[in-house]
Structure 1
Amino acid sequence: MFVKVCGITNFIQIDWAVELGFSAIGIVLYPKSKRYIDSNFAKKLSAYARGKILTVCVSLTYDEVKDCVALFDYVQIYEYKKVKGLIYASSTEPLCKNYDYFLYDSSMGRGVFNEDVPEWIYNYKEKLIYSGGLDEKNVRNVIDKIKPFGVDVSSSVEKSPGVKCFNKMKRFIEACKSVVAKD
């Protein structure tokens, strides 16, 4: 199972993600985010992670990440743009189909879990990364019920915005692995 930890803000958090077995890290380049990293530091974080773990630059629009695209494995944006390694993010059914993965953000970045899953979401399982308020308690149910390609976590593995907690990250990835192991 693909498991991404988003909102990475420093090098030690990358080391933790690698050590714990996460599939990818997300670095947020959206200026209004509490987890915002400027493009110069984002490039350093991506270079540090290269070869250790997949990297995703995250923002609302392509313009906010265009300076960093070449240094990341994936681009996650909330607007459709034809780019290599696109993770198209939305809380509504995508009109386009030309993306590598579809990140369904049930809370649009608010970190609030929503148990109501629209029926159309099941049509995208093979490319679906489920996001929005996931934590170690509810992720098992999401994986069991929806069977997405992957999941994405951010705020529930933090002490405070942008400050990840190793133990919370560990509990989350263990919860994901426990569901996959039983299948």
Structure 2
Amino acid sequence: MNYYTKIKFCGIKKKSEIDFLSNFGGVDFLGFVFYKKSKRYINLKNAILLINSIKFFYKVGVFVNPSKKYILKILKNVNLNLIQYNGEEKINFCEDIKKITNVPYIKVNRINKISKKTIKKFNRIEDKYLFLDSNKHYGGKGVMFNWKNLEKINNKKIIVSGGLDYKNVKKLVRKYKPYCVDVSTGIEINNRKSIKLMKKFINSVKNET
């Protein structure tokens, strides 16, 4: 096949998780949550120790409505490749941070379904990357959005998040061929990353591409 869907595991907090993924392979992006109200939050001290030593993954910092002071402090001390904004951040704010730090960003679009209106909206966006997640809170809740009409969004590298697991991701990848799939809850048991579920998710995606 002439494509393959990339994988992002979000909410990484432990070195043992990174060690496993380094050995097992198959994951392209690791997401680290800097939102203090999240159960997957990683503080600055741990982030410095964990993230700055990573060599083989694209490192994504996940933020929700951060203050300028807070995000600049994180970016000054933590070596991130990409900023992911999950809140109601204004584009001017995102662009300002990019100009100061030279770190690119992506803005998450929270939706319930893909209507004709949203298709027109997304097709007008100039950015070639489009991140779609459920409209339930700020992500990481294990809730899906309706994928119907996903194929009608043109010329975008689509990243899909929200309620994915090793079972339903097979259909998503097979039918819609997204650029990337993003998962947190679907690879966890009792709020902890599961080696078994991570393996199953990676294999499900790779078997369909």
Range of TM-score over shorter length: 0.7 to 0.9
Segment of structure 1 superposing worse, 137-146 or 39-48 = 39-48
Q: Which runs of 5 or more residues in structure 1 are unaligned?
A: none
Query: Any idea what the Cα deviations from partners look like across 1:78-97, whole Å, max 9, x if unmatched?
Result: 23412332121121457784
Displacement of 1:34 in angstroms is 0.6
How far apart, CA to CA, are the structure 2 residues paired with 1:16 and 1:125? 35
Aligned residue type for 1:77: Y
CA RMSD of aligned residues (A): 2.3
How far apart, CA to CA, are the structure 1 residues paired with 2:22 and 2:65? 28
How far apart, CA to CA, are the structure 1 residues paired with 2:110 and 2:158? 12
Displacement of 1:31 in angstroms is 0.6
The residue aligned with 2:106 is 87
Say which of 53, 56, 59 aligns to 2:60: 56
Q: Give the structure-2-normalised TM-score.
A: 0.75
The residue aligned with 2:203 is 174
- Residues 1:117 and 2:147 aligned together: yes
Q: How many equivalent residue pairs?
A: 177
Say which of 17, 20, 25 aligns to 1:16: 20
- Equivalent position SS for 2:19: helix
Query: Any idea what the Cα deviations from partners look like across 1:128-175, whole Å, max 9, x if unmatched?
Result: 1100010000001111222111000111111222x2111110000000
Aligned residue type for 1:111: G
Q: Looking at CA atoms only, which structure, 1 or 2, has the larger radius of gyration?
A: 2
Q: Percent sequence identity over matched residues?
A: 30
- Structure 1 stretches (4+) deviating beyond 6 angstroms? none
Aligned residue type for 2:81: D
Say which of 72, 75, 78 aligns to 2:83: 75
Segment of structure 1 superposing worse, 171-180 or 104-113 = 104-113
How far apart, CA to CA, are the structure 2 residues paired with 1:87 and 1:121? 21
